[in-house]
Structure 1
Amino acid sequence: MLDFDLSSIQEARDLARKAKEAQKIFAKFSQEEVDRVVKAMVDAALANAEWLARMAVDETKFGVFEDKVTKNRFASEGVYNYIKDMKTVGIINEDKEKRVVEIAAPVGVVMGIIPSTNPTSTTIYKSIISLKSRNAIVFSPHPSASRCIFAAAQIMHKAAVEAGAPAGIIGCLSKNTIAATNELMKHDDIAVILATGGSAMVKAAYSSGKPAYGVGPGNVPCFIEKSADIQYAVRCVMASKTFDNGTICASEQAIVVEECMKDKVVAELKAQGGYFMTPEEISKVAKFLFTPKGMNAALVGKSAKFIAEKVGINIPEGTKVLIGEQTGVGKDYPLGREKLTAVLAFYCEKDWHAACERCIQLLEYEGIGHSLAIHSNNDEIIREFALHKPVFRILVNTPSTLGGIGYTTGIAPALTLGCGTWGGSSTSDNVTPRHLINIKRLAYPIREYEKVSQAEKIVKEECADQVSLEDIAQIVQKVLAQLK
């Protein structure tokens, strides 16, 4: 084991060094050359989207094949359509009035930490945004998805090199050890860490001494307000929560409704495949769903049927999501936490003010800074939520999963969603190539600087009107007194 650890550390060093050498060459590429490389990578990702999705499902044993195909396509084509015209080389902006010219410079070598929940799509996405900004990238895969992540990185590297990029511009650890990951994090040739994964891994990235972009957990409350189209709102929630079996951190985790509409929402949820568990069933699921260290990895990305069979509860055929009604938030109400699987919490509150407070409680318990969904046709309440909720994505009348990543909204398409300082993140944005460039500023003068001595100031003040020789003598005396 020690020999394997040592060889993995050496591999990390070799990959970082090769990536640095390649990046120095790539940094000299023109915008046209960079864009040609990126387009080739996108084409390769699209051509292999299904194969990589199948590989991810087979290796991790969770998620939905068709949805992983969609994620791979989104991570390539969806991201590309947003960034293809983005200037990342040379002069990227010029303010003629203020006479400031902004010039893009790459950050260097990016370290990409990849989760098991979205393995191939995140590898594709991070490869594309890194090379679009003239950086190299080296990946540290999650151990339970190492083969599919390595395969995705190889596909991206091959396409980039064939399009003219230098060899070594994209690397990936093949020997997965904590020692190798730590070595990469602290290696001198790594400029920035792009971390997507569990809280411990993200915290380690921020503790490495390197600049880092990381994301905290999502715990998205979904408020269905009384003016909402209930059937449509529930359809959005069900589609979102079952997309890849809930593995995207922007997926809904709790539905919050007002008392006056509870029965209608419950009936619609049942009609669309939701199963409301009894208190005893909730207890069984909660105990199996969470361990002292967090969510049980064996249930991540699993279907409602799989979970029900594991805990020994009977559910109707066609059940899509298990739902547990909760009356509080905290350790005694575990369903109020992030659940990357087909399980939802359900809260009923007196009115929209109480619902608002419940959403805040859920976010403060876990997921602060991430996202919130609201279904409503009342613009006043929508704005109220936007102004006062401690999140950076307020998703209106859309599936939270797909809205948060920019699939159904105008938010920047991304698979790394910043939670801002509230969530312990260095950005509140969806991360794009612009986050992976440094900006030089060429500044010309817009006003003259005149240095006026104290003596000159006194002379000018005293000589505002014509003066006599006697006045001049007095002025000289004042100047001499100032100089003592």
Structure 2
Amino acid sequence: MRIIDNDLLSIQEARILVENSKEAQKELIKLSSEKINKVIEAFLNRVLDYSDEYIKSVYEETRIGSVDDEKLLLNMFLTKLKENIYDLQCVGSIKKDNNGRTSEVGVPYGVIGAFCSEKNSVLTLIYYITLALKSQNAIILVCSKKNSKTLSEFLNKVRKFLELEGIPECAVSYLSNVSLNGYKEIVNHRDVNLIINTEVPEIVDEIERSGKILLYGSYGNTPVFIEKSANIEKAVSDIINSKTLNYGVAPGSEQAVVVEREILESVKSKFKEKNCYFMSKIESEKLKQILFDKNGNLNAKYIGKTPQFLAKDAGITIDENIKLLITEEKYLTLDSVYGQKKLCPVLDFYIEDDWENACEKCIELLLNKSQGHTLILHSENDYVIEQFLLRKPVGRMLVNTSGVLGSMGITTDFFPAVTLGSGVVGKGITSDNISPMNLIYKRRIGYERSKNFSNSNYKKIMDKKIEKSMSDKELEEIKRLLIKIFN
């Protein structure tokens, strides 16, 4: 009988992948920016032709989210990505000042290890590959074990296409023997220069111990505040459309709603009108019992499931047209399990007397379990908007838009991104929407300023020092010599 140790296979494969990627990157950097743009354009146009079948296959493996919603999100995202990616200059000369006295040169890091969760995985892989190509880094993709079979087939097709377009073999590769030890080998290999991690928390501690540069994106505990000047119809519609997209597993989705008391009834009425269900205290407790484990962590069984699936398991009766389950909460305490990210169509709902108290509530939610990277504010009051921006410990703030589409850069001018850096989580080096500019380091070049002695600070300093100790004749001679030297 033949015994195969998958951990050993995974470690060995990881080592080979890194070695091959390092050599491929040396060839990738030789390609011109024009060539890279042509490849990316061909890739983004072609990948839509066969991504649908893999989105469906991934769903069959994971049962997370909605096939139709992920297709829709992919199409919207790629449309916006195409608008932003081609004109971006990130390798070679990227910036010069008006006088040409300073400039910046973008240099790829080399080999990138990229970790992708089972959620929105096809979209994430396309995004990762595009970023790596544009920044001319080799990339090793690491997928979840749950959907590695389907994604391996997808990536094989992508690699063949890219190689036919002129991208060096192994510039884009993936770990096919998936194991935690294989993950660790990639993280700790001396030739892996940077790590991207989108919602794979089990490897974060290992990355931090390795000392590698980490770009980390999580879904975050995103609060949304509806202030009394807001367009309530639009605010409620934005929240519902965002939170229900892919059944709560799209990046940046709203997790908690904070409402000013003055408009409470109008807001609740609008949610109910749009098929959202406010649970009773007993029903909220029932849902809590199944949705979270004994340690208060979200039960993976309910990630990306429908409200009807959640309600049935909790013993709650709801109509088939219900889109969201809402629990009304008075306080946020250490035992408040609802006050965290919930990757399913469930929102917690808080009432505050005024915007200042609402501001404090949003801060509590952002800092709860250190998961806040995005805050959403619906308001027409410029002063309130400014105060929220000044006070919030958050990576990005959205105003009068959808959490998902806004944070991903689809309805805003943020760079289109799936990996959303966090402002307070303490993981990763940036709160940016991760773009190709985060995958390079910048060399800065400075030229000596004009040697015109009459305009130099050095002359002024020397004048003062000389005047204290020299006669007029000696002073004039020294000045004459200095002018000769500097000119």
- After TM superposition, the score normalised by the length of structure 1 is 0.91
Deviation at 1:20, TM superposition (A): 1.2
**Alignment-derived partner of residue 481 in structure 1:** none
Which of 51, 54, 59 is the matching residue for 1:52?
54
Whether the 8 Å CA contact 2:407–2:414 is kept in 1: the answer is: yes
What's the counterpart of residue 206 of structure 2? 204
Give the direction of change, closer, same or farther, for the CA distance of 1:442–1:63 in structure 2 (3 Å limit): same
Offset from partner CA, 1:14-70 (integer Å, 9 cap, x none):
111111111111111111111122122212222223122212211210111111112
Tell me the alpha carbon deviations over residues 146-188 of structure 1, each in whole angstroms, 9 at most, x when there is no partner. 2333234333322221110111111111111001000011112
Residue 418 of structure 2 aligns to a residue whose secondary structure is coil
Q: Distance in 1 between the 2:340 and 2:203 partners?
A: 19
Q: Give the match for residue 338 of structure 2.
A: 335
Residue 197 and residue 379 in structure 1: after superposition, are their counterparts in 2 closer, same or farther (change >3 A)?
Answer: same
| CA apart distance, 1:390 | 1.1
1:422 Cα deviation from its structure 2 partner: 5.4
Q: Quote the Cα distance in structure 1 between the aligned partners of 2:200 and 2:270.
A: 34
Show the counterpart of 2:472. Answer: 465
Q: Which of 374, 378, 381 is equivalent to 1:371?
A: 374
Stretch moving more, 67-76 or 232-241:
67-76
C-alpha contact 2:197 2:215 (8 A) present in aligned 1: yes
1:281 aligns with 2:283: yes
Alignment match of 1:7 (pick from 6, 9, 30): 9
Residue pair 2:374, 2:407 contacting (<8 A) in 1 also: yes
The 8 Å contact of residues 220 and 367 in structure 1, kept in 2 or not, is answered as no
8 Å CA contact retained: 2:396, 2:423: no
| Aligned residue type for 2:402 | P
Question: Could you list the runs of 5+ residues in structure 2 that have no partner in the other structure?
Answer: 478-487
> Among 20, 23, 40, which residue is 2:22 paired with?
20
In structure 2, relative to structure 1, the CA distance for the partners of 1:282 and 1:293 (3 Å cut) is closer
Measured at CA, do residues 265 and 293 of structure 1 come closer, stay the same or move farther in structure 2, by a change above 3 Å?
closer
| Alignment correspondent of 2:480 | none
Q: What count of residue pairs does the alignment treat as equivalent?
A: 469
Partner of 1:420: 423
Of 142, 152, 157, the match for 2:144: 142
1:352 is the counterpart of 2:359 = no
Contact 2:398 2:407 survives alignment (8 Å): yes
Corresponding residue to 1:213 among 212, 215, 225: 215
Q: Distance in 2 between matches of 1:113 and 1:2?
A: 25
How far 1:126 moved relative to its partner?
A: 0.6
| 1:225-254: CA deviation from partner (whole Å, max 9, x where unpaired) | 111121211111110000001102410001
User: 2:409 maps to which residue?
Assistant: 406
The one-letter code of the counterpart of 1:184 is I
Q: Give the residue type in structure 2 aligned to 1:82.
A: N
1:224: Cα distance to partner?
0.8
For 2:373, give the aligned amino acid. H
Does the Cα contact within 8 Å between 2:365 and 2:372 map onto a contact in 1?
A: no
Amino acid paired to 1:385: F
Counterpart check, 1:318 vs 2:325: no
Aligned-residue CA RMSD (Å): 2.5
> What amino acid maps onto 1:386 in structure 2?
L
Farther-moved stretch of structure 1 (34-43 vs 340-349) = 34-43
The percent identity for this pair of structures is 35
1:108-166: CA deviation from partner (whole Å, max 9, x where unpaired): 11111001111111111011001101111001111222233323433332222111011
**Aligned partners of 1:155 and 1:402: how far apart in 2?**
29
Instruction: Provide closer, same or farther for how the CA distance between residues 99 and 458 of structure 1 changes in structure 2, counting only shifts above 3 A.
Output: closer
Q: Note if contact 1:110-1:138 (Cα within 8 Å) is conserved in structure 2.
A: yes
Alignment CA distance shift 1:115-1:204 (3 Å): same
Segments of 5+ residues of structure 1 without an aligned counterpart are 473-484
Aligned AA (2:367) = E
Post-superposition offset of 1:73:
2.7
1:433, distance to aligned residue in structure 2 (A): 0.4
Q: 1:459 to 1:316 in 2, by over 3 A?
A: closer
Match of 1:223 in 2: 225
Structure 1 residues 430 and 443, CA gap change in structure 2 (3 angstroms): same
**TM-score, length-scaled by structure 2:** 0.91
Distance 1:217 1:231 in 2: 26
How far is 1:420 from its partner? 3.5
Query: Aligned partner of 1:123: which letter?
Result: L
Query: Which residue number corresponds to residue 308 of structure 2?
Result: 305
**Is 1:386 the equivalent of 2:389?**
yes
Per the TM alignment, residue 89 of structure 1 is displaced from its structure 2 partner at its CA by: 3.0
In the TM superposition, what is the alpha-carbon distance from 1:289 to its structure 2 partner?
1.1
Contact 1:45–1:73 (Cα < 8 Å) also in 2: no
In structure 2, the partner of 1:79 is 81
Pair 1:209–1:460, CA change in 2 (3 A):
same
Evaluate the alpha carbon distance shift between residue 7 and residue 353 of structure 1 in structure 2; reply closer, same or farther with a 3 A threshold. same
**Does the aligned pair in 1 maintain the 2:408–2:414 contact within 8 Å?**
yes
